[in-house]
Amino acid sequence: MLGQRFIGDGLRGNARIIINGVPGGDLGMFMSGPTCIIHGNAEHAPGNTMDSGMLVIHGSAGDAVAHSMRGGTVFVKNNIGYRGGIHMKQYEVEARPILVVGGTAHSFLGEYMAGGLVLVLGIGKEKAMTDRGIGSGIHGGEIIVRGEVDDYLLGVGAKKFKFTENDLERIAPIIKNFCEQFGYDPAEFLDTNYTRIGPASSRPFASKYVWE
Amino acid sequence: MCGIIGFIDRTKSRMDGSSIKAALSLMNERGSGDGAGYAAYGIYPDYADYYALHVFFDNMAESKTKVDELLQQWGKIVHQEEIPTTPQPGIKKVHTPWRYFFKPSEDLMAGRMASENDVVTYIVMEVNANVKGATIFSSGKNMGVFKASGWPEDVANFYMIENYKGYIWLAHNRYPTNSPGWWGGAHPFNLLNWSVVHNGEITSYGTNQRYVEGYGYKCTALTDTEVVAYLFDLLGRQHELSHEMVVRALAPPFWDDIDRMPAKEANLNKAIRLTYGSALMNGPFAIVVGTDDGIVGFTDRIKLRPS
């Protein structure tokens, strides 16, 4: 496989797709149900507006990973480009998208995020996140980053929260699943050494669009 | 929109144009049929020491006579011919593409111009600004740009691009959004050995244009990308900045990033920003620039392109 775009787009049901090589842009767009294993890197926007199912990328991925995703899971073993998780959204608890990145992410992670979870583990990195604009314009959902996050990396409207034992209990199954996919030992990730980032208020941009 | 490609064979072994034609055609949806083009390095080994001037002529009488006269004032034309083309249903041949192989003469330059590159730059600016019906769109050595209004495959077939073999290829599929679609407005934009393909827009164009015009460059292509070729020539050739430093000047780190750098690095970056403030490019862009010894790709600082 070398650059074929639109694989698994709009596909529904219970299927398993194995990709050897590098798929092109918009892998799994609007996908609802299937599992897609990628033995290689992925191009821009895998998981674009994905509904449910799973992408497991044994490599890195380009910009806008999990763009507008509304359900299901995207696991990326290594790094992702700019604007990962942009516009992710969720509907209560039954449709809650999850993006987990093993390495690090470039700027504007979780930009305009409205729901779901983005988790960055920073495996092999001194700091999990070093690029700016994390959660810029976020008004829902959460971004969880391994270790400390410098204040200057936070985007407009984003705020850091303490990561608690309760939070760990919530994300432990996700960490275990990720580690199982890539052969990591989950034990080393199951502590509270994380930073949780979310919207600074329930309507952080109210004054931008309305006059009261 | 717009689609851009650039690749290099670092061993300098040459590849014909059929692959880049196929690659660019895969991005047809990124264009609108209003322009496409290719730049290839290593295509004229028999004339490697001569400047290959590619010109669009509107008429072969008056316009060409003026260009011939100007070239003869500065040097010698060793060969010239119409660039071979074949008619394509999708392309209206509104200009005649012509090529000269030209070398400035030392005795004609003496006391007037410091280098051959200065002479050729002067000729390009003079023709494009002041000779009606003539546009020099390519002026490097052992390289050439081939472009027109049309779809990628049509433009490639029009110039029979598979007949050229190069070790660097750049290609562009155009979707003009705020400037006219015409042959000279298609990418790549070129001056001497610099060639530029670009996706996005340069909103600082006015500032950048005034800056390069202060150094004698003339922006005549009616679109923003042209200024990037002149910025690379000014900073990279005239000011002898390394390729990395040119990119650093055009898309520098933010001030707050500079404040967090170690002192030595911060001082260098401050100096670049202060010296080249008018060369800084704003707006969304993804750009590939080629020259005879390499290619560089870079984007705007917050990566609003490619998209």
pLDDT digits (tens, 9 = 90+) for A65-117: 999 999 999 999 999 999 999 999 999 888 999 999 999 999 999 999 999 99
Any idea what the Cα angle at residue A150 is, between residues A142 and A146, rounded to 5°? 50
Among chain B residues, CA nearest to A62: B306
Among chain B residues, CA nearest to A5: B26
Q: Give the mean pLDDT of B10-15.
A: 96
**How far apart are the C-alpha atoms of A142 and A145, rounded to whole Å?**
10
pTM here is 0.93
The total number of structural domains that make up chain A: 1
Any idea what the Cα angle at residue B259 is, between residues B255 and B260, rounded to 5°? 125
pLDDT exceeds 80 at position A206: no
Express as a percent the part of chain A with pLDDT over 70.
98
Among chain A residues, CA nearest to B254: A132
Contact between A152 and B303 using a beta-carbon 8 Å cutoff: no
The total number of structural domains that make up chain B: 1
Domain assignment of residue B268, given as a range: 3-299
- Is A114 among the domain residues? yes
- Is A73 among the domain residues? yes
Q: Is B2 known to be catalytic?
A: yes
**How far apart are the C-alpha atoms of A18 and A7, rounded to whole Å?**
11
Q: Mean pLDDT in chain B?
A: 96
Q: Establish whether the linkage from the previous residue to A186 is cis, with ω within 30° of 0.
A: no
Among chain B residues, CA nearest to A25: B307
The predicted-structure confidence for B143-200, as pLDDT tens digits, reads as follows 999 999 999 999 999 999 999 999 999 999 999 888 888 999 999 999 999 999 999 9
pLDDT confidence band for A188 (50 / 70 / 90): very high
- Is A2 among the domain residues? no
Q: Which residues of chain B neighbour A133 with C-beta distances below 8 Å? A: 302
**How far apart are the C-alpha atoms of A193 and B2, rounded to whole Å?**
44
Q: Give the mean pLDDT of B242-248.
A: 96
- Is B175 among the domain residues? yes
Residue from A26, A43, A48, A63 to probe the interface with B (highest B Cβ count within 10 Å): A63
Q: Are A143 and A113 in contact (CB under 8 A)?
A: yes
Q: Which residues of chain B neighbour A107 with C-beta distances below 8 Å? A: 302-303
- Is A96 among the domain residues? yes
The CATH code of the domain that includes B77 is 3.60.20.10
Q: Which residues contact B258 (CB under 8 A, 6 or more apart)?
A: B266, B269, B270, B273
pLDDT score recorded for residue A212: 52
- Nearest-CA distance B304 → chain A (Å): 9
pLDDT exceeds 70 at position A209: no
- Is A29 among the domain residues? yes
- Is B305 among the domain residues? no
pLDDT score recorded for residue A211: 61
Cβ-based interface (< 8 Å): residues of A facing B: 63, 81-83, 106-108, 132-133, 152
Express as a percent the part of chain A with pLDDT over 90.
92
- Is B245 among the domain residues? yes
The predicted-structure confidence for B204-242, as pLDDT tens digits, reads as follows 999 999 999 999 999 999 999 999 999 999 999 999 999
Minimal CA–CA distance to A49: which of A64, A69, A31, A33? A69
The predicted-structure confidence for B81-121, as pLDDT tens digits, reads as follows 999 999 999 999 999 999 999 999 999 998 999 999 999 99
- Is B307 among the domain residues? no
Q: How many Cβ pairs within 8 Å bridge chains A and B?
A: 14
The predicted-structure confidence for A38-67, as pLDDT tens digits, reads as follows 999 999 999 999 999 999 999 999 999 999
The CATH code of the domain that includes A159 is 2.160.20.60
Q: Residues 229..288 of B with a Cβ closer than 8 Å to A: which?
A: 256-257, 260
The verdict on B76 touching A (C-beta cutoff 8 Å) is no
pLDDT score recorded for residue B176: 87
Domain assignment of residue A69, given as a range: 16-209
- Is B174 among the domain residues? yes
pLDDT exceeds 70 at position A210: no
Contact between B303 and A82 using a beta-carbon 8 Å cutoff: yes
Q: Which is catalytic among the residues B2, B170, B241, B289?
A: B2
Q: Which residues contact A65 (CB under 8 A, 6 or more apart)?
A: A42, A44, A45, A46, A47, A74, A76, A80, A81, A84, A85, A99, A101
The predicted-structure confidence for B36-64, as pLDDT tens digits, reads as follows 999 999 999 999 999 999 999 998 999 99
Which one has a higher pLDDT value, B281 or A211?
B281
The interface pTM score, or ipTM, of the predicted complex is: 0.87
